[in-house]
Structure 1
Amino acid sequence: MSDTLLVMKFGGTNMQDSAAIRHSASLAGRSLSAGVRVVVVVSAMAGVTNGLLALADAAESGDIAAANDEIAALRTRHFTAAQELGAAPDSPTVRDIREMHETLRQAVYGVYLLRELTPRSRDLIVAFGERLSAPLMAVALEGQGFRAHHLTGGEAGILTDHHFGNAKPLPTTYERVKDRLSGLLAAGVTPVVSGFMGETERGAITTLGRGGTDFSATIIGKALGANEVWAWKDVDGVMSADPRVVGDARNITVLSYGEVMELAYFGAKVLHPLAVTPLQESGIPLRVKSAADPDFPGTLVQAQAQDEAGQPVKAVTAIRNVSIINISGAGVLGIPEVIASVFDAIARENITLLMVSQSSSMSNVSLAVQSSDAERTLAALRAGVSRELMVDRQSDVAVLAIVGSGMRGQRGVSARLFTALASQDINILMISQGSSELNISVAIEGAQVDDATRAVHAAFGLGVRAEAAD
């Protein structure tokens, strides 16, 4: 057995049914057969997370029949996959799945009785997606002749804070993961870990935010000193734009940690925004690979940026469903405490700010937030700042960002961006440039975001045809 260790993460579409799971197991098996040690980290089956969120909301509103129907559908889906992957009806895998569905049913009934869905209860319920898919992957690996053992994120050692819904790992996590997984690996057993989840020091289940299975994989990668972390996706790596919006979007060969964090933060769905943070200290590379074309190298994410000559921008991305919160009035003028009270109110609610803009006279401040956070933001600000100030909301906004390390010190990048937007008659509501000079972002009307993305992508010559013409 070689000293090489890979952590492989499989997303929801690569876990959606028995055929997809079997294929994903074969991708891990390619490395295992070559003597490489592998830790597998799995997402829920495609659509299961949304189904769990829906049944939790149904239980809270009193519709227990709808919740039970969804649980029954999930149960059938997981049992069918287990059977098709070769698990016997009386096998430990089927027994585990049966017990987990019973625990899920009890948790949902508790929400129904209380008519209350706390962040803690929501995490408990939504984590069942990953908890149920890990045994299926273990069965698939065993069916291909490899020894495997499935664990929840908590059992694998991921210890988090109490921010239910968006938890962060505690410093002690890394030693715990190493202790718990090293023995399995040494015994020739492939650990299959439920992604997206961890637990508090008291054993309460937490989740790491949507897309958190990437984060789970990189936490484990750092803990074990992996050679690389591979994120298997249903795309050819990180693209220069959303290929559903831009027909000639192309694969980006190499990105730095900083660039991929900016892309993830500004809406690119390829990775969790914090996924690369555990890897930065140790310099472990992350590779985004296509499950449909496993020999294609995909995108390598590493410490150093790799700039193309004359190409300052690598990608254009967008966050949809954004709201701008405007705080204005003479009371803002030149009083630092007012600005401090604004950010204190936001921090108390644990709301993520996408953009911040302040007029030079300091008579107004604008904040861009996800629309799902807008009502909480408004309530927090109205309660937390002076009554002399006006707080209002502009809905149906999108934030578009261009990202690339080549923008540092490069003249004319902003001009090209604004000229491209002007050519489509797109009105800019807010502008922000990161101090790292890795991104420039603008807030625009949501209805114009697709036209804006295509225009900016073309203006910077990011497409396949433009590349071929060089």
Structure 2
Amino acid sequence: MNESLLVMKYGGTNMQDARAVRHSASLAARSIREGVKVVVVVSAMAGVTNQLLKLADAAQSGDIASANDEIAAMRTRHFTAAQELGAAPDSDTVREIREMHETLRQAVYGVYLLRELTPRSRDLIVAFGERLSAPLMKLALEQDGLRAHHLSGGEAGIVTDTHFGNARPLPGTYERIKDRLSGLLSAGVTPVVAGFMGETEKGAITTLGRGGTDFSATIIGKALSATEVWGWKDVDGVMSADPRVVADARNVDVLSYGEVMELAYFGAKVLHPLAVTPLQDSGIPLRLKNSADPDFAGTLVQAEPRDEAGHPVKAVTAIRNVSIINVSGAGVLGIPEVIASVFDAIARENVTLLMVSQSSSMSNVSLAVQTTDAERTLNALRAGVSLELKVEQQDHVAVLAIVGSGMRGQKGVSARLFTALAAADVNILMISQGSSELNVSVAVEAEHVDEATRAVHAAFNLGKTVTA
């Protein structure tokens, strides 16, 4: 599409109640009145996704009363928001919300009867959060004098594989989205798409993984050749560190696709780790903005990095609740088929490896995983590798990473990192650096990660500039 087009994604706090939804709608309306076409992609109300997961687990365990209590609380919240946005009791919005809650109740009751929660059923249930947000945003846009139409992810054209819980779009998705949404935009109608979800070729609802609304927005942005994709959040953009840990953390003005992917992977809550992948081949910029300060530029994510002289590192981030799995056996790990069996066992469990480190003697491999994945990783390795190998688990670990394209070819970056950690009396358990030279990551004891973050942030002069 040749005219200016923005895809605007709204997170959970931007959809948490009627006031937030109304404000979010006003941000889209401002651009629309300036002649920009807008596609809106919405998240569930803040906290609703966790509620849905909780009630699904309650139903599976036989506690249907608790599940129904959660559904009733959610229903009240959605009806209250609709009423405060101006919906009459007999309006289409109220009817749609009522029907969706009834469908949700039936799905949860089915889980209760079977005492079985399959990945497919979990996706069906958890996707109701975004599906219930979409009619509220449509209503708010209409109350602002605009024409709008809401769609589920599947109705918008997002077709995925059958990897429930972490689905990926199929190649035909982009053309299908263009076919579904272009007509609405040409007619002056603003599409409101439920994020986080798609559907299989047979129509089963799938989800794209936690934070998947970001992914939905960039998939749509690529399909429509958007001018930019905007992610509205409750912070200024990407920060140089977690501001709850580092008092002088500052906004990072520009990041490359690669840098933001590394930050997302290593724990920065900026966006879904795969969100930039649809934009990379088309060069569409992604802008992360603060809904409370819409005129602030936020963080621009683009194809090329923008390096600052003397500042090879852009940000420091951390993943908490990590465990290290140590696999050892004198000389055995040097045999190719043995090391292959280690990674095959992990792949079968679909476990994400945060870090990998191997000793030069090839007698030890250390793997960092989320603690929630540690037990099944341990069991898979003990069942799937040579009996000559020893497999042990170390808990209470965190992974700290520094990220920045300026590290490429820059001498002394790792030395500065290690010196800062040593000065803070923080012991390093593992070290890893990718060949891209975009990050250096270390594993440390969890109790020291905040202190380590502050020390590294200061060592690389990432804080706000202090003026006299």
Task: Assess same fold via TM > 0.5.
Answer: yes
Give 3-state SS (helix, strand or coil) of 1:330's partner. coil
Query: Which residue number in structure 2 is paired with residue 82 of structure 1?
Result: 82
Alignment of 1:380-391 (within 5 A): 380-391=380-391
Is the 8 Å Cα contact of residues 316 and 457 (structure 2) preserved in structure 1? Answer: yes
Partner of 2:449: 449
CA distance in structure 2 between the aligned counterparts of 1:43 and 1:105, rounded to whole angstroms:
21
1:95 correspondence with 2:95: yes
Structure 1 contact 349–376 (Cα < 8 Å) conserved: yes
Partner of 2:119 in structure 1? 119
Partner Cα distance (1:9, 1:332) in 2: 50
- In the other structure, the counterpart of 2:393 is 393
The CA distance in 2 between the partners of 1:350 and 1:161, in whole Å, is 16
Question: One-letter code of the match for 1:350?
Answer: N
Deviation at 1:458, TM superposition (A): 0.6
**Whole-angstrom CA distance in 1 between matches of 2:369 and 2:217:** 28
- Structure 2 distance, partners of 1:395, 1:111, is 34
SS at match of 1:468: coil
Q: Could you say what secondary structure the match of 2:367 adopts?
A: strand
Task: Spell out the pairing of 1:362-373 with structure 2 (5 A cutoff).
Answer: 362-373=362-373
2:346 and 2:81 map into 1 onto residues whose CA distance is: 44
* TM-score normalised according to structure 2 size: 0.98
3-state SS of 1:381 partner: helix
Check the 8 A contact 1:58/1:66 in 2, yes or no: yes
- Structure 1: give runs of 5+ residues left out of the alignment: none
CA contact (8 A) 2:243 2:249 kept: yes
Q: Tell me by how many angstroms 1:331 deviates.
A: 6.1
Please, what is the CA RMSD of the aligned residues? 1.2
Structural mapping, 1:6-85, within 5 Å: 6-85=6-85
Q: Structure 1 pair 338/2, CA: closer, same or farther in 2 (3 Å)?
A: closer
> Within 5 Å, which residues of 2 pair with 1:304-323?
304-323=304-323
**2:331 touches 2:362 (CA, 8 Å); kept in 1?**
no
Q: Residue 251 of structure 2 corresponds to which residue in structure 1?
A: 251
1-structure distance, mates of 2:184, 2:345: 46
Amino acid at match of 2:466: A
Letter in 2 for 1:154: G
Does structure 2 retain, via aligned residues, the 8 Å contact 1:331–1:389? Answer: no
1:469 to 1:420, Cα distance in 2 relative to 1, 3 A: farther
Which residue identity does 1:468 align to in structure 2? V
User: How far 1:469 moved relative to its partner?
Assistant: 5.1
SS at match of 2:210: coil
Distance 2:366 2:100 in 1: 46
Aligned residues: 468
Match in the other structure for 1:328: 328
Q: Which residue of 2 aligns with 1:375?
A: 375
2:332 & 2:183 partners in 1: Cα distance?
59
SS at 2:188 equivalent = coil
Normalised TM-score (structure 1): 0.98
Cα 1:334–1:458 shift into 2, 3 Å: same
Deviation at 1:2, TM superposition (A): 8.6
State whether residues 228 and 287 of structure 2, in contact with CA within 8 Å, keep that contact through their aligned partners in structure 1: yes
Cα distance in structure 1, aligned partners of 2:467 and 2:433: 31
Correspondence for 1:169: 169
Deviation at 1:468, TM superposition (A): 3.5
User: Which letter does structure 2 place at the counterpart of 1:393?
Assistant: Q
Note if contact 2:333-2:339 (Cα within 8 Å) is conserved in structure 1. Answer: no
Which whole-Å CA distance do the structure 1 matches of 2:386 and 2:339 have between them? 11
- The CA distance in 2 between the partners of 1:271 and 1:91, in whole Å, is 35
Tell me which moved more, 4-13 or 375-384.
Answer: 375-384
> Partners in 2 of 1:281 and 1:87 — Cα distance?
42
Shift of 1:393: 0.8
Deviation track 1:167-199 (CA, whole Å, cap 9, x = no partner) reads: 111111101111100111011100000001111
Deviation at 1:383, TM superposition (A): 1.8
Deviating more after overlay: 289-298 vs 380-389? 380-389
Find the aligned partners of 2:228 and 2:333 in 1 and give their Cα distance: 51
Name the structure 2 match of 1:468. Answer: 466
- SS of the equivalent of 2:466 reads helix
Contact 1:332 1:364 in 2 (8 A): no
Matched, 1:287 2:251: no
Instruction: Give runs of aligned pairs for residues 201-280 of structure 1, distance below 5 A.
Output: 201-280=201-280
Structure-1 separation of matches of 2:292 and 2:79: 25
Matches of 1:388 and 1:102 in 2, distance apart? 55
Report the CA distance between 1:376 and its aligned residue: 1.6
2-structure distance, mates of 1:400, 1:420: 13
Q: What is the CA–CA distance in structure 2 between the aligned matches of 1:458 and 1:331, rounded to whole Å?
A: 41
CA contact (8 A) 1:417 1:459 kept: yes
Q: Residue 232 of structure 1 aligns to which amino acid in structure 2? A: W
Structure 2 residue runs without a partner (length 5+): none
Give SS of 2:397's match: strand
Give the structure 1 partner of residue 410 of structure 2.
410
Pair 1:108 & 2:108 matched: yes
